[in-house]
Amino acid sequence: MTHESTAVGLASAYSNATTASGDWWRDAVIYQVYVRSFADSDGDGIGDLRGVRSRLPHLARLGVDAVWLTPFYVSPQADGGYDVADYRAVDPLFGDLADADELVRAAHELGLRVIVDVVPNHTSEQHPWFRAALAGEPGARERYFFRRGRGADGSLPPNDWESIFGGPAWTRVADGEWYLHLFAPEQPDLDWTHPEVTAEFDSVLRFWLDLGVDGFRIDVAHGMVKADGLPDIGRGAQATLIGTEPLPFFDQDGVHEIHRAWRRLLDSYEGARIGVAEAWAPSSERLALYVRPDELHQAFNFRFLNCPWDPGAMRTVIDESLSATTAVGAPTTWVLSNHDVVRHVTRYGGGAQGLARARAAAMLMLSLPGSAYLYQGEELGLPEVADLPPESRQDPAFRRGRRQQIPVPAVDPAPGPGPAAPGIIAPRPGEPTPPQSAPSPHSQPESGAGPQPHACCGPQTRAGAGPGPDPLTAPQAHAPTRPQAETGTGAQPQACCGPEAVTGAGPEAEMGGGAGGDPLTAPEADGQDGLRDGCRVPIPWAGTEPPYGFGPVGSWLPQPPEWAGLSVAAQTGDPHSTLELYRAALELRRAMPGLGAPEAGPSPDPRGMRWLPSPDGVLLFTRPGFACTLNTRPEPVELPAPGRPVLSSAPVQTDGRTVRLPPDSCTWWAF
């Protein structure tokens, strides 16, 4: 017999005991909404909170447990909202505070929890605190890292730290001092030794908890504390070192006291409010420190996202991840895509092969113990949009020129964030203002298998070139980790994460030309490549032409014409579609008692997971009443059937005794 690729007609188990319990987060499936690319309610081409609220029924039907919203706070949008000017207000681009309140209430009515981003490592340059610091208000600069420069005239940066986005991590103001920004110059780092910083963020968290949110995804959770004295590192290309070795600006022991304090704050609220760390550490053991019982609930597991399509590497990552987190009684998290990385359909080869592998990888992820994160559109099998026109790109690192010296304003700072005061920040030479909402000509998606241009970061596999290093990835990825060797057959597109090292060339070289700006200098080329927009293209909902139901007219990034067949409407009801595969997998995940979270407390064998012998290229493991087979080979493989097939990413042939696994496929079994 042939078992079809998706299961239909399953009994719903949406409100099962695990999800309804206080430990809901231990096996939660959390869906990331990139707000500006999810749904547009007002016709400006940019997604907003009302748009998100209108599409919540899709997420409830999909079967996820919670929604994670990227920043929607008041912001100049220098880095997609991760440069916050007012942490307690909604940017008019996305709506207002009433819209946020209504969204949370609507989600709760549908049984969905809501997690919001908090950005504590840095503010916007337009935050009132930083404006006051530039204006010379007494004590204002103590909230940030302002330092005198080195050299006889102070014209050299205070140390050798580099920005993750490329270039020095320091910018000089007109009176001669320098300020630290580990990311863009528009994102000055806060000094968390200052008591006003601690008190302010306690207040910010309480503000949103009082509104009803269920937790926070903590951006750069590893970065708020810097080593005493801000010591030099002594080498360049520092972005490539993050997650591989100790650095004086990341993963300092002092961050854990901050997270302990936040855990106490979260625990003071009813309803199991959670904290999720976006944290990079040199080892799995260091990462596990963030999820000790008195710290945060979850930390993103970036190693799984970066893992190549190789069964040995996958098994190693799974085993080491589970071992590190269960040792401290925490669940492991799993993720394949996010708003900073090349979508995994493209990373796994693109075309039919990439989609087959992406479907199989999703089933593998959803069968593992712990919590899983889905990125909007992955349930549709969306590929990366690799050829966006340069004029439509808005990633801040796409054109990163040297900033001019910042003059000190002669007037007092404005009382609120508002627009930038004239003259505070000089424009970058040759850099045009990126469009905000006008649609650009439609781009074409990548075609076929093989190496694809990157749309986010790091050492890249250029079209027609061999593979480069394979850096790790992160949800708001501010760091790469150790490059990994490619395995398997042929050159594979690389996983990548946010700000990464680019070897040799910048965006213009990658894209075959660019509008405006000079070529990147060597120091700038050591940071992020600025091509993250390819994974942020608004998703298709319905219709045969762009914007595919995203909004009344247009979209802030152009959508490919080929996406009509990938829309939610086009895939709904098709038992072979990627959308119905995800729906079936999430329904089975709830219905089968052997899936879900590991038990609390240390365990070398979380929730009974056990690897079984299998042919080369195949992974086979069991959990109570359940088995999973993953065939990573490009040809079918026969083996004894481990049970009754209940779901497969591709049609499976079995006579009940043996099974013929399709290439690049995953199958779930009950026994």
CB of 556 closer than 8 Å to CB of 436: yes
CB of 671 closer than 8 Å to CB of 639: no
DSSP for 458-509 reads SS---TTS---------TT-----------SSS--PPP--SS----S--HHH
163 closest CA partner among 559, 553, 501: 501
Residue 219 is among the residues annotated as catalytic for this protein:
yes
Q: How many CB atoms lie within 10 A of CB 444?
A: 13
Q: Which of 83, 86, 117, 219 is catalytic?
A: 219
Query: CB-based contacts of 553: which residues, under 8 Å, 6+ apart?
Result: 43, 45, 439, 547
CB of 216 closer than 8 Å to CB of 276: yes
Q: How far apart are CA 99 and CA 596, in angstroms?
A: 33
CB of 23 closer than 8 Å to CB of 597: yes
Q: How far apart are CA 527 and CA 519, in angstroms?
A: 14
Q: Is 509 exposed, middle or buried (CB count within 10 Å of its CB: 0-12, 13-18, 19+)?
A: middle
Residue 278 is among the residues annotated as catalytic for this protein:
yes
Query: CB-based contacts of 213: which residues, under 8 Å, 6+ apart?
Result: 104, 114, 115, 116, 273
Q: How far apart are CA 30 and CA 50, in angstroms?
A: 20
DSSP for 142-158 reads GGBTEEEPBSTTS-B-S
CA–CA distance from 512 to each of 7, 15, 388, 395 (Å)? 45, 51, 12, 17
CB of 127 closer than 8 Å to CB of 139: no
Q: Which of 99, 160, 278, 510 is catalytic?
A: 278
Biggest CA-to-CA distance, the chain: 82
Q: How far apart are CA 573 and CA 147, in angstroms?
A: 61
Q: How far apart are CA 664 and CA 99, in angstroms?
A: 43
Q: Which residues are catalytic?
A: 219, 278
